[in-house]
Structure 1
Amino acid sequence: MNKVMSNKLIIALYILPAFLLIVILIYIPIAVTGYYGLMNWDGIGDKTFIGLANYSELLQDSKFWVSAGNSFLLALFSTISLIGYLAISLVLAGKIKGSDLLRKIYLIPMLLSSVAIAQLWIKIYDPNNGMLNSLLTTLGIESPPAWLANPDFVLYSIFVAIIWQYAGFYIIIYSAALKGIPQSLVEAAKIDGATPIQIAYKIKVPLISGTIKTTIILAIVGSLKYFDLIYVMTGGGPNGASEVIASYMYKEAFSSRNFGYGSAIGFSLLILALITTLIITKLTSSKDDLQY
């Protein structure tokens, strides 16, 4: 085996299939998107090279900046929601009664498609017969808002649905990381008189800091490119109040048939996600990683 693995040709042959898939499915589409962003093109007819005109227009496009602001606001809410996911994971790791059942319940949203989840929350937010407004009316609140039709509430209403959708995903990640902590460390802390809260936040959380950093990057980058549930629930409305970068890109490219401009938006989204990832990685980097 050592002789085989020291052969550079064999190593290259092992790597080649995965390398080709990455190049074909990721890097070539990125390059093509950047190329289309330099064109004036409706997606069907002839292309006209216009250089950086699409990107210049993008910088002056107020709708783009509104959608970018909404995307970053979603990223902020998603990052804050990680605190709740982590807290739930810490409680479930404490071997409470019914913890296995609760983990399965939290996984339910992961089994549903984004379209099904969107339809579910549309029914919940229905201003006339929805469960939420019916509950508020029962509690004595007269004329509760139309959550998805009110520009002041629509974005936060969608955020609640997204946070619910990804709860199981992050709870699984945190639960797996917590299971990797040696029980001897926890028992030693108990002997020293540490309370469950002290064990959670002074021992367990620091030991899974690497996992937490990874989930922060996943939450922020995933939020920047989020599209499907928002598009199904509101289509970016009302009046662009829930528009995000990905939905604005889709409208420009396919609804307005401005494929060149849509490609410029898509390539800009890639650059924003890359820059954000580098900044978060730099801010969360640490020379002294805890070992156990």
Structure 2
Amino acid sequence: MDSACVVEALAPIWLEIPETARRILQRISVVLDFAHVKGWVPEEVSLRSVRKGLPRQNDKRGHMEAMPYAEVPALMQKLAGASPTTGRDALRFTIYNAVRSNETRFAVWSEFNLDDGIWSIPGERMKAREAHIVPLSAPVVALLRKRWNERTSDTGLVFSHNGEKPISDVTMTKLLRDDGIAGITVHGFRSSFTDWAAERTRFPKEVADKALAHKLPNKVEAAYRRTDFFEKRRSLMARWAEYLDRTETQSGKGKDAAATASEPTALRVVA
């Protein structure tokens, strides 16, 4: 392997997912250095010229391009109507739950209680290093029960072909690009959810923030606020799922039910 091979490998994602591409470049460098030290690669491979062979990244760190929330239901309908694949299931699951892609990619069956509609993510898998409990909406439970019936392991990865190897970091992004959706990132659907919750529901901002597993910036407030708004979040995620699953005909009927409803929707666990 030389720098030209690395340029060729990174070119498709260098501008699409710049942060991931930079991490991959760093890891390739570490692997090649280790291989040289072990004598597996006779000559040291320098990757200093790789960035010169790639276009300049205009990366606004912390900003992820998001799809306007009004367009997300159409995407979800398209994903649900296409031939089912692990990648499509993972993308739908990620959008329904407004979680980060890695939280989906490394989810294992032992984290789920489908009877109660709960997903318990351990702290070591969360960005903030704190455990996070996700209330699962009815469509998510249905999706998981379908995957459970097709599983290869009772304890392995949920979104995997063999239960052991996770789908790649770009699998879900590629689905968007193949559908002609340029610029939008998977992470950006968390922003779509945030905008929808703010503009189309009456749920307090702190409930939506907790659904995203955001930490309170004020340390004093964080010390005193112990609630995780679980029941309110269950209702919020049920409303989000209802919004995502609405048809084009329903989209034209004015405000969705989430804008006016105040009572939680009961979770329907699919047998």
- Higher helix share goes to which structure? 1
The two structures have a TM-score, normalised by structure 1, of 0.20
Greater RCO, CA 8 A, separation 6+: 1
When the two structures are superposed, what TM-score results if normalisation uses the length of structure 2? 0.21
Question: Which protein shows a greater Rg?
Answer: 1
